[in-house]
């Protein structure tokens, strides 16, 4: 198995732009001519915006990297689209970025789990829409970059630049309370993990604990899921819950939920890193 990995070159290709005919055919035909084996392909059109994520491999002795890069760059120009090519190193530790807003408990839990070795991944950047703050588990040298989110298009453009600059493999929304656009999500298809404070599909959107409290539910939970183009509807990775005691107030529910959020988010990342997850028709299966 180890030799097979060494002899193969792996790459991810993303295509983003205005929807038009022939895009899939042109990209796949070019890769076929370059002796690529297309192992996975997913494409979707949302409000006239086309997005495609493609996984390809080559025998090591048949992968001409300069020709592939130049050819895809030429296709991007002729189509008027963005085409990104990234070669992967299967044995390299995954590099993760954390996106945060005001609450820090999930970010701190993930960083602590990485530091202890519970998560076999390397945090490389923290991006927040509030000015820099100190995290109790913040490793020395880990950059915190403040990206204001008043203009979503500009903010996402800056965040994507940072993710590319730091060669990020996957993104963790550690209670990041902003909605990401389809073009952002497509660039990291099934590589953005979010934690939501309810047992989805119940109580999507903001103020989930308050909604649960006001509805008088007897069980409150949290959900870790991959981010999709639809708010809080992405494939579910892990969930957990706790029973409410009679007379429990909202602030007690929030405190209990936040503790659970951190645990479930770390569990979901661990499942992702061990490559035990397969997304099939919008549902996550452990393999």
In tens, the pLDDT along 49-59 reads 898 999 899 98
pLDDT of residue 4: 44
Catalytic residue among 151, 169, 232, 278: 232
152: its two tokens: 């979503």
Q: What pairing do the DSSP bridges indicate for beta strands 219-226 and 144-146?
A: unpaired
Task: Label residue 118 by pLDDT band (50, 70, 90).
Answer: very high
Task: Label residue 287 by pLDDT band (50, 70, 90).
Answer: low
In tens, the pLDDT along 222-263 reads 999 999 877 777 888 999 998 888 888 888 888 888 889 999
121 lies in the same domain as 179: yes
pLDDT of residue 13: 93
178 lies in the same domain as 67: no
201 lies in the same domain as 166: yes
Answer yes or no: are the C-beta atoms of 81 and 74 closer than 8 Å: no
Q: Where are the beta strands (DSSP E) in the chain?
A: 8-18, 37-46, 49-59, 82-88, 94-100, 121-128, 144-146, 170-173, 192-196, 219-226, 236-243, 277-280, 283-286
Select from 88, 106, 135 the last residue of a domain.
88
Query: Who contacts 246 (Cβ-Cβ below 8 Å, separation ≥6)?
Result: none
Select from 60, 88, 116 the last residue of a domain.
88
Answer yes or no: are the C-beta atoms of 46 and 229 closer than 8 Å: yes
Task: Label residue 216 by pLDDT band (50, 70, 90).
Answer: confident
Q: What mean pLDDT comes out for the span 262-287?
A: 75
The average confidence (pLDDT) of the chain is: 86
219 beta partners: 243
Q: Is 232 a catalytic residue?
A: yes
242 three-state secondary structure: strand
250 lies in the same domain as 271: yes
The CATH number of residue 45's host domain is 3.30.70.260
Read out DSSP for 87-140? EE-TTSPEEEEEEE-S--HHHHHHHHHHHHTSS-EEEEEEEESS-----TT--T
């Amino acid at each position: 198995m180890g030799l097979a990995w060494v002899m193969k070159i792996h790459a991810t290709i993303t295509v983003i732009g205005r929807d038009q005919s022939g895009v899939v055919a042109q990209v796949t035909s070019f890769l076929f001519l370059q002796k690529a084996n297309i192992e996975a392909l997913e494409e979707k059109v949302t409000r006239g915006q086309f997005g495609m994520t493609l996984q390809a491999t080559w025998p090591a002795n048949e992968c001409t990297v300069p020709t592939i890069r130049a050819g895809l760059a030429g296709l991007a120009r002729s189509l008027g689209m963005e085409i990104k090519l990234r070669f992967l190193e299967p044995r390299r530790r995954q590099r993760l970025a954390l996106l945060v807003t005001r609450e820090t408990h999930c970010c701190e839990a993930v960083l602590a789990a990485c530091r202890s070795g519970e998560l076999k991944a390397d945090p490389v950047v923290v991006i927040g829409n509030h000015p820099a703050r100190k995290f109790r588990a913040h490793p020395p040298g880990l950059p915190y970059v403040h990206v204001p989110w008043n203009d979503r298009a500009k903010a996402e453009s800056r965040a994507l630049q940072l993710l590319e600059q730091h060669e990020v493999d996957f993104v963790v929304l550690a209670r990041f309370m902003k909605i990401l656009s389809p073009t952002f999500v497509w660039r990291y298809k099934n590589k953005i993990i979010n934690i939501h404070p309810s047992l989805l599909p119940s109580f999507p959107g903001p103020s989930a604990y308050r909604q649960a409290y006001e509805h008088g539910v007897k069980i409150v939970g949290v959900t870790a899921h991959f981010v999709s183009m639809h708010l809080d509807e992405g494939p579910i990775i892990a969930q957990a819950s706790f029973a409410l005691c009679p007379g429990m107030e909202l602030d007690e529910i929030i405190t209990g939920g936040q503790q659970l959020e951190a645990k479930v988010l770390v569990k979901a990342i661990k499942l992702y890193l061990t490559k035990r997850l397969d997304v099939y028709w919008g549902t996550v299966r452990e393999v």
